[in-house]
Amino acid sequence: MATLNDFSIEPRVTIFRPTAEELCAMTAEMPNATKTSFDNFNVQTKVDSRSKKSTYVIDDDPSLHSDQCVGRQEAERLANMQDEFIRGSEMICVDGYIGNHPQYRTSARLWIEKAHANIAGMQNLLYYPLDGNEGEDWKPTLTVVYTPSVKAEGYPDDRVITVDLDAGVTRVMNSDYFGESKKGGLRMWNAMVYNQGGIPLHAGCKVIPVGDESKCALIVGLSGTGKTTTTFTRQNGSGPVQDDFVAWMPDGVIQSTENGCFAKTFALSAEDEPTIHAAVCRQESYLENVAQRDEGNVDFFDESYTQNGRAVIRMQDVDGAIDAREGPKADFLLILNCNENIIPGVCKLDENQAAAYFMLGETQGTSAGGKDEAGKFLRVPGTNPFFPLLHSQQGNRFLELLKKQPLEVYLMNTGRVGGPVSDDRSMKVRIPHSSAIVKGIAENTITWEVDPDFGYQVATAVPGIDSKDLGVLQPRVLYHDQDRAEEYASHVSRIQEERDAYMNSFPGLDQEIISVLSG
């Protein structure tokens, strides 16, 4: 088996490229796996979200990265410790591809302890499968080595994730949360895309029929802010292409990454999200940290353990799904901002504004980022916490591609306007509002006017949104109608000042991007 192993050591037992059925059978043996009424498995993990504080890029020069780094000597010590454990362990090896574009697809591999077979099963659904023509010389470009049983003492929660961009290897220790496998490969893929002249986008992608034409939309957003919901909501019978990560290349190609979706299940209902709900309830899907009652019945609204319940579903089980290789070049891009004060339901951005709001990456954190982020206001450049290089490189590349491959860009609030949920004067931007906005953008039926404070265009009317909900589209009107003009002005002044300071904190960021917010 040595020719199949991309390491200098071998596990005690290697389970090489098991089938989906074999992975399911191994998952059934796990003590923390229970069968649901859907006849699939739900696994309760010890770690219920990503471990950002435990994640390090391997580099002796930390100035090359916005994220925290660990030196190569220490990374080698950690690797040796993990390899020593692997020598005495049963390990599963799963192979596949990130992406299915014939020009850009990336060979990928996951090593995971057999005791955590659900992670292998979930990753197997997300990888695009091998095409059967791979010979003995097939090697992965990107590899994730995953050992939940290995503790890294001295690191946050005795947990560490090391990212070697040069070797294309990510090592995960002492986490059993599937997101570390998924993001482990995609984080390294981010750097590859950038080095190829493109930009990785933490985004969904969908194609919307409009008459005899089709419009391709990209939906950029932090995990849990409505990216999946917006992508899978079916305006005009639209079809989802990708849920979580795409690459926008210099030639305009939009390349996919995954053959499935890692969907958040909290508050999932057949009424509001029928496409996702139907796929989650299939036998082939995997659930993680979803509340479960007697006789296998799950409760998507129970958050007693975590709001970050998840499911991995196959794209082939999603009604109307479209192969990325068949999709057109992008027509418009939505930047999601789950907010709760004066951000409109939608606003239209010019070129420089688009790059600026992309860099701002403003939103409210969710349980996907753990307790440190949930419910807190965040700024995450590109809403992409997985870009492993300098954040200024994201903004500059986005503006560069926008000039080469023009597309319309919109900022879309998926939260509230006028205050938090505890304030009965506030208005929720509901799923039907967002759906009407996306439909209106695709059909070019929204009327606009310039906002006097921020310079972007706000909607005066959107087909499908009643005039009584105008406050969702125009926060200024909502605040003024409620005799809260001074409060509105205070928000404007504070936000403008904070944004200016934030944008000036990135060395090397194009001045065109910075100046558009500072006037």
2-31+51-176 CATH: 3.40.449.10
- Say if residue 375 is exposed, middle or buried (CB neighbours under 10 Å; 0-12, 13-18, 19+): exposed
In this prediction, residue 254 carries a pLDDT of: 93
Of 107, 113, 79, 80, which is closest to residue 95 (Cα–Cα)?
A: 107
Give the span between the Cα atoms of 232 and 226, in whole angstroms. 10
CATH level 3 topology of 260-317: Phosphoenolpyruvate Carboxykinase; domain 2 (2.170.8)
> Which of 104, 139, 383 shows the shortest CA–CA distance to 256?
104
One-letter amino acid at 173 equals: M
* Stretch (H or E) spanning 413: strand 408-413
What is the Cα–Cα distance from 123 to 146, expressed in whole angstroms?
12
pLDDT at 132: 83
Q: Which amino acid is at 33?
A: A
* Cα separation, 434 vs 414, whole angstroms: 7
Q: Domain residue spans in the chain? A: 2-31+51-176, 200-258+324-518, 260-317
| Residue 455 burial by Cβ neighbours in a 10 Å radius (0-12, 13-18, 19+) | middle
Are residues 311 and 47 in contact, defined by beta-carbon separation less than 8 angstroms? no
Distances (CA, A) of 243 to 45, 93, 260: 23, 25, 8
CA–CA separation, 12 and 198 (whole Å): 41
127: exposed, middle or buried (Cβ count in 10 Å: 0-12, 13-18, 19+): buried
Q: State how far the Cα of 147 lies from the Cα of 171, in Å rounded to an integer.
A: 8
Per-residue pLDDT of the chain (519 residues; tens, 9 = 90+): 333 445 667 899 999 999 999 999 999 999 999 999 999 999 999 999 999 999 999 999 999 999 999 999 999 999 999 999 999 999 999 999 999 998 899 999 999 999 999 999 999 999 999 998 887 789 999 999 999 999 999 999 999 999 999 999 999 999 999 999 999 999 999 999 999 999 999 999 999 999 999 999 999 998 778 888 889 888 889 999 999 999 999 999 999 999 999 999 999 999 988 989 999 999 999 999 999 988 889 999 999 899 899 999 999 999 899 998 887 789 999 999 988 999 999 999 999 999 999 999 988 754 444 455 455 678 999 999 999 999 999 999 999 999 999 999 999 999 999 999 999 999 999 999 999 999 999 999 999 999 999 999 999 999 999 999 999 999 999 999 999 999 999 999 999 999 999 999 999 999 999 999 865
Token pair of 345 as six digits: 């339901």
> Which residues have CB under 8 Å from 517's CB, separation 6+?
356, 360, 496, 499, 500, 503
CA distance 458 to 334: 14
If 0-12 CB within 10 Å is exposed, 13-18 middle and 19+ buried, where does residue 316 land?
Answer: exposed
Q: In angstroms, rounded to a whole number, what is the distance separating the alpha carbons of residues 411 and 328?
A: 22
Give the position of tokens 């907010």: 339
Helix ranges (H only) for 259-350 are 274-280
pLDDT score for 324: 84
Q: What order do you get walking across the sheet with 160-164 strand by strand?
A: 13-16, 90-98, 106-113, 142-147, 169-173, 160-164, 55-58, 69-70
Q: CA distances (Å), 75 to each of 82, 401, 479, in order? A: 11, 35, 53
Given the DSSP bridges, would you call strands 246-248 and 199-201 parallel, antiparallel or unpaired?
A: antiparallel
The two structure tokens encoding residue 200 = 């990785």
What's the angle, vertex CA 73, arms to CA 71 and CA 79, rounded to 5? Answer: 100
How many Cβ atoms sit within 10 Å of the Cβ of residue 46?
Answer: 10
Inter-residue contact 68 to 57 (CB < 8 Å): yes
* Predicted TM-score (pTM) of this structure: 0.91
Burial of 238 (0-12, 13-18, 19+ CB in 10 A): buried
pLDDT, residue 1, reads: 31
Helix (H), strand (E), coil (C) string for 21-53: HHHHHHHHCCCCEEECCCCCEEECCCCCCCCHH
> Would you call 470 helix, strand, or coil by DSSP?
helix
Beta carbons of 389 and 379 less than 8 angstroms apart: no
Contacts of 423 (CB under 8 A, 6+ apart): none
Are 492 and 453 contacting, i.e. CB atoms less than 8 angstroms apart? yes
Instruction: Give the list of residues 6+ apart from residue 209 with CB closer than 8 angstroms, or none.
Output: 236, 237, 238
Which string of DSSP letters, residue by residue, matches 55-84?
EEEE-S-GGG-SS-EE-HHHHHHHHHHHHH
Structure tokens at 457: 């265009």
**Are 170 and 145 contacting, i.e. CB atoms less than 8 angstroms apart?**
yes
Helix-helix angle 511-518:391-404, to 10 degrees? 90
What's the pLDDT score for residue 3? 34
Q: What are phi and psi of 381, to 5 degrees?
A: -50, 130
Predicted pLDDT of residue 5: 46
Topology of domain 200-258+324-518, CATH: Phosphoenolpyruvate Carboxykinase; domain 3 (3.90.228)
Q: Facing residues of 200 across strands?
A: 247
Same fold, 2-31+51-176 and 200-258+324-518: no
